[in-house]
Structure 1
Amino acid sequence: MTTRVLVADDQPLIRAGLVALFTAAPGFTVVGQAANGEEAVALAAETRPDVILMDVRMPVVDGIAATRRILAGPADPLPRVVVLTTFDLPEYVCTAFGEGASGFLLKETPPDRIISAVRAIAAGDVLLAPAITRRLVETYTERHRATSTTPSRLAELTARETEVLRLVAFGLSNQDIAGRLVLSEATVKTHVKRLMSKLRLTSRAQAVVAAYESGLVTPLGRRDL
């Protein structure tokens, strides 16, 4: 099955590079390219992509506003939006996921990792680049350390689900977790769904925050991997 991709970026060189990357990758078809958010909204309605690679800072309409408009539209199914940017500011991440984005990657991510991430997101996963995950949770825990009283439901998780949550919190994708735990990706995906259900979470980003908030991991804990 071919994944239809729309690329939105105001920098011609980066936009052309992403188009070339996905044109050459098996299983993908680039259905359009936009230089600003307004064009992205129009092309999303016209071309019905499966995944949109969305820059944040663009003229006319920025990527966050474009994401909001696209995901509030009538398309069924709605496209999955991957925010791809040079800026890893936590407020961008929080806002993007709040508007319904399915992934957040830095433009410095190696091409093969971008391809893998988009494949995973097209299949229903939600991804945060590890560097972005760390920045997000460090900011979150710093702001909420003194006031957070959310009770932990970790006792409801199995030992395997707890380990999967720990690795999710460190920013690992399902593919990475599968390799580390010697499991299939399908099994990891099942564990993630079950632990999110038990913890009453609706997104992978919430799972990351829950792991830090509960004390399962700490911002410096990645050294234990």
Structure 2
Amino acid sequence: MTDTVSFGYEEIAATAKTARVGEVFTNVAGKYDAMNDAMSAGMHRVWKDVFVRRVKPRAGETILDMAGGTGDIAFRMVESDAAITVADINPAMLDVGIARAAKRDISGLVWTEANAETLRFPDRFFDAYTIAFGIRNVTDIPKALREAHRVLKRGGRFYCLEFSTTLWPGFAEVYDAYSHRLVPKLGKLIANDEDSYRYLIESIRRFPDMARFEAMIGEAGFVQTKVEPMLGGLVAIHSGWKI
């Protein structure tokens, strides 16, 4: 990893990014799900449903849902009777998820504060690793991917849901204008935080395209890597297997 990394359109010291991202998610935690609905017109729910269908959680499996603080992915998997650990680096996001689980009378999930780059879990521990809309906020993405590979059992599967760059002609320009001009204003209106949502949009623009990110997953040791684009690649499901 280089000495500097992107924080939205800024270049900052790599050692500072974790704290800066932490501030963003602490600020937005309470309104995170409401903002997801507003920004995507509710489409994030469909994307997450498709994502979990691809994961195919099964009874008796152990699954790590990384960056899963508010519980959206874990709640969709809990009926499978898999043993699910919800991990997030941000305690404020975990607090939101725990409160949402209690309100929905969902039990059996394990909640833990964890950094995707330095997981405390032993080698070959999980059957599946999921991360949804979280990998682009990691300081050292290759390191986080290697950690995902390390904690998976042989035959374990990796699934990542993340924004990317749509390849549909014309739609990319429309979405770019919408996201840069309107999303920060929605952040101001709904969460009283324009700057955090400006960063979140900028972080999408700085994230590797689908082909490059798939290559990074392979470089971390995964095989049979695959990309499933949605809306032409505006959002993509990336997957790979550990052998």
TM-score (norm 1): 0.33
Greater strand fraction, Structure 1 or Structure 2: 2
Task: Flag the structure with more relative contact order, 1 or 2, with Cα contacts below 8 A and sequence separation at least 6.
Answer: 2
TM-score (norm 2): 0.31
